[in-house]
């Protein structure tokens, strides 16, 4: 496998022929399920339901005669997608795939169409110079707060415990599509949107306060973690102020009850994900610290302070089984991260009687990468996008990095210990949106899958498999095709960690349409495609719920 260096002349020439506009402003919506045309094949064990979510439209034509444009990809008006993968009912029948999708913010879009203004908290919207011009229209048309007014759509949770919990849910959590009792969209803000699992219609809103009255802070992680055995869910709530407070909590999959595991003060930060091991919750406050005053203005990106390499990342270790709360704190090299991958406990190499925590994640040197995700730098037809890809700097590329937190103390301590980097790899591929075999959660894993940025497109240009033991990678790539997060579906009869398939929604930029791609996870050989009749927007995350077994995704 050879990877093209970011910013090279060859890369720019390739990228000039890699159109991606439809992936950032899709108009295609399919409210009623339709059957997709198949080429190749998808193994029967992949049967189940695949949900995807992410930005849909980014522009709205207004009644004032101008086009309202969102600034940042993270603010795209959310759209949810559902692929029903149906196993054959006869030996000689083919596997079938049905697809439907729905835009989730119709009332917010209608508000913008009438007023020409977003008028809501956003991640990175540029300040609107026309806002004063449309104040009268805004005062005459104020939408009531509701699920189709609120833009929530970064990650998805299927059968999330805590809200509308019923005792019988604990008996058999995963029984295929008929066992999908609820579907929630999430974001890094303390708000959840409930969706109909079949029609994808937005039907309700919730907050963490409904889980526990002390979870009053505005920020949380889009990626909670779920215990692969019990299904219990772990996340944090951040109350921002003069002295900011983190509350790490768990929701029981059996009872639906929420318990706060630890409460402590710390630097407020934008934290998109966290980790768990068999016995601990691992919350790393990396270098995306927040200015509380700017956060209060409603412009989230402006509140994130520049990365200060002199300030260490702080790792908090919280007991999740025995009520000991915060048991240890580590400090390590400064970095920025969106996505953690996995963590586990193992005996310390130097002192086998003690326990180390090992954590894998996708690391960047700086949070400046967030600014590359403004639409002006991603839509391939724009001159600023050409400049962005040509000038991509080394510090803006990502690596898979393994951290070690050594010699976990046997009893809680306030003494600060040192975390270290064990290795970093794959910078030439700049991986993101990492996934793995869900059966290895909280256990030592060997393989990681992710999208790549090799400099051939403004967003993604391939799918990678990385072998952590051998430090080797494999690549699937097709010129002009931009893949989304590869979701691993395990072969229930498999004998190895990588025995399964990857499912990824890919935009064919040449045709302007998307397809569901199926790859053999062992060698990234293409097995099949299910062709969609339009362009699916570049999404963030999803979850596959098999007919039986463990769903893929942190929820």
* CA dist., res. 19 & res. 513, Å (int): 11
* CA dist., res. 411 & res. 217, Å (int): 29
* CA dist., res. 127 & res. 150, Å (int): 19
Q: Of 233, 232, 182, 239, whose CA–CA distance to 209 is shortest?
A: 239
**pLDDT tens, position by position, 307-323:** 999 999 999 999 999 99
Does the pLDDT value for residue 136 go beyond 80? no
Residue 70 sits at the vertex; the CA angle it makes with 65 and 75, to the nearest 5 degrees, is 145
Q: Of 542, 549, 550, 544, whose CA–CA distance to 186 is shortest?
A: 542
The mean pLDDT of 127-149, rounded to a whole number, is 56
Query: Would the pTM count as exceeding 0.85?
Result: yes
- pLDDT value for 2: 36
In terms of DSSP bridges, do strands 313-319 and 326-332 run parallel, antiparallel, or are they unpaired? antiparallel
* CA dist., res. 157 & res. 133, Å (int): 40
Confirm whether residue 14 is marked as ligand binding. no
The percent of the chain in helix, strand and coil, each rounded to the nearest 5, is 15, 40, 50
- pLDDT value for 322: 95
Q: DSSP for 276-292?
A: E-SSEEEEEE-S-BB-H
Does the pLDDT value for residue 177 go beyond 70? no
Confirm whether residue 66 is marked as ligand binding. no
Q: Of 341, 271, 357, 283, whose CA–CA distance to 316 is shortest?
A: 283
The mean pLDDT of 111-137, rounded to a whole number, is 72
DSSP state at residue 398: -
- pLDDT value for 304: 96
- Low-confidence winner among 13-27, 57-71, 209-223, 462-476 (lowest mean pLDDT): 13-27
Does the pLDDT value for residue 471 go beyond 60? yes
Q: Of 271, 228, 231, 229, whose CA–CA distance to 248 is shortest?
A: 271
- Low-confidence winner among 204-218, 292-306, 499-513 (lowest mean pLDDT): 292-306
Q: Of 302, 501, 312, 297, whose CA–CA distance to 420 is shortest?
A: 312
- pLDDT value for 88: 87
* CA dist., res. 167 & res. 170, Å (int): 6
- pLDDT value for 179: 77
**3-class secondary-structure state, position 172:** coil
* CA dist., res. 41 & res. 520, Å (int): 11
Higher-scoring residue by pLDDT: 24, 299: 24
Does the pLDDT value for residue 175 go beyond 50? no
The mean pLDDT of 229-255, rounded to a whole number, is 95
User: Are the C-beta atoms of residues 387 and 372 closer than 8 Å to each other?
Assistant: no
In what helix (H) or strand (E) does residue 12 lie, and over which residues does it extend? helix 9-16
Average pLDDT across the chain, whole number:
90
* CA dist., res. 516 & res. 101, Å (int): 14
Confirm whether residue 481 is marked as ligand binding. no
* CA dist., res. 61 & res. 230, Å (int): 48
**pLDDT tens, position by position, 346-378:** 999 989 999 999 999 999 999 999 999 999 998
Q: How confident is the model at residue 131 (pLDDT cuts 50, 70, 90)?
A: low
The mean pLDDT of 489-504, rounded to a whole number, is 96
Percent of the residues in the chain that have a pLDDT greater than 90, as a whole number: 78
- pLDDT value for 299: 77
Residue 460 sits at the vertex; the CA angle it makes with 335 and 101, to the nearest 5 degrees, is 110
Residue 45 phi, psi dihedral angles, 5° rounding = -70, -10
* CA dist., res. 367 & res. 474, Å (int): 27
**pLDDT tens, position by position, 397-422:** 999 999 999 999 999 999 999 999 99
**pLDDT tens, position by position, 418-460:** 999 999 999 999 999 999 999 999 999 999 999 999 988 888 9
* CA dist., res. 315 & res. 487, Å (int): 28
Q: How confident is the model at residue 90 (pLDDT cuts 50, 70, 90)?
A: low
Residue 488: exposure state from Cβ atoms within 10 A (0-12, 13-18, ≥19)? buried
In terms of DSSP bridges, do strands 48-55 and 59-61 run parallel, antiparallel, or are they unpaired? unpaired
- pLDDT value for 170: 47
Residue with tokens 């600023």: 384
- Low-confidence winner among 1-15, 205-219, 273-287, 409-423 (lowest mean pLDDT): 1-15
Confirm whether residue 479 is marked as ligand binding. no
Does the pLDDT value for residue 7 go beyond 60? no
- pLDDT value for 384: 85
DSSP state at residue 458: S
Q: How confident is the model at residue 171 (pLDDT cuts 50, 70, 90)?
A: very low
- pLDDT value for 93: 77
The mean pLDDT of 511-537, rounded to a whole number, is 97
* CA dist., res. 301 & res. 123, Å (int): 6
What are the tokens at 129?
């110079």
* CA dist., res. 239 & res. 245, Å (int): 5
């Amino acid at each position: 496998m050879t990877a093209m260096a970011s910013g090279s002349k060859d890369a720019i020439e390739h990228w000039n022929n890699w159109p991606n506009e439809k992936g950032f402003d899709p108009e295609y919506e399919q409210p009623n399920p339709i059957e997709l045309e198949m080429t190749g094949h998808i193994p029967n064990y992949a049967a189940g339901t695949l949900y995807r979510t992410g930005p849909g439209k980014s522009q709205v034509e207004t009644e004032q005669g101008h086009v309202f444009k969102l600034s940042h990809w993270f603010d795209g008006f959310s759209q949810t997608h559902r692929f029903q993968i149906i196993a054959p009912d006869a030996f000689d029948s083919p596997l079938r795939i049905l697809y439907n999708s729905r835009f989730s913010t119709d009332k917010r879009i209608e508000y913008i169409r009438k007023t020409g203004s977003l008028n809501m908290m956003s991640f990175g919207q540029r300040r609107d110079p026309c806002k004063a011009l449309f104040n009268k229209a805004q005062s005459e048309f104020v939408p009531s707060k509701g699920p189709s007014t609120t833009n929530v759509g970064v990650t998805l949770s299927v059968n999330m415990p805590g809200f509308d919990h019923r005792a019988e849910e604990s008996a058999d959590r995963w029984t295929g599509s008929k066992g999908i009792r609820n579907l929630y969209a999430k974001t890094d803000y303390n708000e959840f949107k409930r969706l109909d699992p079949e029609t994808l219609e937005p039907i309700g809103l919730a907050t963490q306060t409904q889980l526990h009255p002390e979870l009053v802070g505005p920020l949380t992680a889009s990626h909670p973690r779920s215990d692969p055995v019990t299904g219990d869910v772990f996340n944090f709530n951040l109350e921002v102020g003069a002295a900011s407070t983190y509350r790490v909590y768990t929701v029981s999959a059996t009872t639906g009850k929420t318990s706060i595991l630890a409460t402590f003060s710390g630097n407020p930060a934008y934290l998109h994900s966290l980790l768990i091991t068999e016995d601990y919750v691992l919350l790393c406050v990396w270098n995306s610290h927040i200015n509380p005053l700017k956060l209060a203005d409603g412009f989230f990106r402006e509140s994130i302070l520049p990365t200060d390499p002199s300030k260490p990342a702080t790792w908090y270790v919280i007991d999740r089984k025995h009520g000991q709360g915060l048991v240890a704190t580590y400090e390590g090299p400064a970095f920025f991260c969106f996505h953690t991958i996995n963590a586990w406990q193992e005996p310390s190499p130097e002192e086998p009687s003690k326990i180390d925590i090992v954590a894998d994640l996708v690391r960047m040197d700086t949070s400046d990468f967030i600014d590359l995700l403004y639409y002006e730098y991603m839509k391939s037809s724009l001159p600023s996008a050409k400049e962005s890809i040509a000038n991509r700097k080394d510090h803006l590329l990502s690596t898979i990095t393994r951290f070690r937190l050594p010699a976990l103390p046997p009893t809680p301590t306030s003494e600060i210990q040192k975390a270290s980097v064990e290795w970093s790899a794959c910078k030439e591929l700049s991986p993101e949106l990492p996934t793995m075999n869900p059966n290895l959660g909280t256990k030592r894993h060997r393989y990681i899958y992710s999208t790549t940025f090799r400099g051939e497109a403004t967003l993604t240009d391939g799918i990678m498999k990385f072998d952590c033991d051998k430090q080797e990678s494999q690549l699937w790539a097709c010129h002009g095709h931009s893949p989304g997060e590869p979701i691993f579906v395990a072969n229930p009869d498999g004998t190895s960690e990588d025995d399964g398939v990857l499912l990824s929604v890919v935009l064919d930029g040449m045709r302007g349409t998307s397809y569901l791609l199926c790859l053999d996870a062992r060698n990234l050989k293409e097995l099949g495609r299910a062709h969609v009749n339009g362009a699916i927007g570049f999404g963030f995350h999803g979850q596959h719920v098999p007919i039986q077994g463990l769903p893929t995704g942190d929820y």
